[in-house]
Amino acid sequence: MIASLLSAAAPESVWLPPAASAASAGVDRMFAFIFWTCTFFFALIVGLATLFVVKYRARQSVEPQKTPTHNTRLELVWSGIPLVLALIMFAKSTEAYRGLTELAPGGQVDAIQVTARKWSWWFDHPGGHGANELHVVVGHPVEVTLASEDVIHSLYIPAFRIKQDAVPGRYTKLAFTPIAPGTYPIYCAEYCGTNHSQMRSQVVVHRDRASYDAWIKQVEDASVPLVDVGRTVYLTKGCIACHTVDGTPRLAPTFKASWGRVEKLVDGSSVTVDEAYVRESLLNPRAKLVAGFQPVMPPMPLKEREMLGLFEYLKSLK
Ligand code: CUA
């Protein structure tokens, strides 16, 4: 029975998203093995307990009999079976875990640096290409180094069955090989403050190098209209987490019709939203805080063209 459970196919699944990394199958098998082992013993124990409670309940006409207080053979059996099961779980889990943190030696590895901060992800791809999404190529092993700029976050990619904390002041590692092209969600799995639940991103698994290179070119392409550059900045650099574009204030003033607006500041003065103010607020968010909002925004140094793009985008939100 154990052998058949160990070799059981990954549950296609109510619980798990489609498996998209080389290590997924091993993790899913472990999950299935532990889940069904626990289910079996839960049913057995609760079933027997219920049966005995009914069968041996106190009855007026029946005197309690002398019963044995222990049985060495029985106790050895019910200690030995869990011990063996726990050892199998330990050995198999260790094997599966190593697949999540170490790559087979040799071969070309894409090294990606991940930086977490409240409340967004930043992925530095090989060649110095930064993006707020993770881009990888099918079949190419990836080694990720994680860092955090503020508090503990945790990079969680359910489709790859991987999760690793990003801890301030130290570097943590993660390794995987994507096996299925597609786009899969990334979550933060460590509670990190107000916008923890918004700290999401995605991993794009390209079907080949050419597709990946096309994306890189797109990142670099300076022929994109400024307003589109600005929209991309808004969507990808974390602005969207706090600034809406539909007029409703979230954790920060809405961007809708913000250009040229006169904002009241916490110190009682006021300021007109223009290039100088937006630039200053990006570099030093606490300098001129709008009344009624908390200073939660991290400094956001943008490239010059990204900043110009953001101005155009704000102007377009009439
Ligand atoms: Cu970052 Cu939760």
> Distance, CA 122 to ligand 1 centroid (Å)?
13
> Distance, CA 164 to ligand 1 centroid (Å)?
12
> Distance, CA 64 to ligand 1 centroid (Å)?
59
**For 216-228, how does the pLDDT look when each residue is reduced to its tens digit (9 = 90+)?**
887 776 556 778 8
Structure tokens at 138: 């099918």
* Ligand 1 lined by 188 (C-beta under 6 Å): yes
* Ligand 1 lined by 155 (C-beta under 6 Å): no
* Ligand 1 lined by 168 (C-beta under 6 Å): no
Which atom of ligand 1 sits closest to the CA of residue 193?
2
Which 3-state string (H, E, C) describes 222-277? CCCCHHHHHHHHHHHCCHHHCCCCCCCCCCCCCCCCCCCCEEEECCCCEEECCHHH
**For 45-63, how does the pLDDT look when each residue is reduced to its tens digit (9 = 90+)?**
999 999 999 998 888 887 7
**Ligand 1: which residue has its CA nearest to atom 1?**
153
Please say whether the beta carbons of 162 and 127 come within 8 A: no
Outline where DSSP puts E strands in 92-158. 110-117, 120-125, 129-131, 134-137, 142-148, 153-157
> Distance, CA 17 to ligand 1 centroid (Å)?
21
The pLDDT, as a whole number, for residue 11 is 43
Q: What is the pLDDT confidence band of residue 302, given thresholds at 50, 70 and 90?
A: confident
Measure Cα distances from 119 to 116, 188, 195 in Å: 7, 9, 6
Q: What is the pLDDT confidence band of residue 8, given thresholds at 50, 70 and 90?
A: very low
What is the percent of the chain where pLDDT is above 70? 93
Helix (H, G, I), strand (E, B) or coil at 173: strand
The pLDDT, as a whole number, for residue 1 is 44
Q: What is the pLDDT confidence band of residue 105, given thresholds at 50, 70 and 90?
A: low
Lowest mean pLDDT, pick from 102-111, 147-156, 234-243: 102-111
Q: Model pTM?
A: 0.61
* Ligand 1 lined by 199 (C-beta under 6 Å): yes
Q: What is the mean pLDDT of the chain?
A: 85
What is the percent of the chain where pLDDT is above 90? 26
Which atom of ligand 1 sits closest to the CA of residue 199?
1
Average pLDDT on 23-27 reads 84
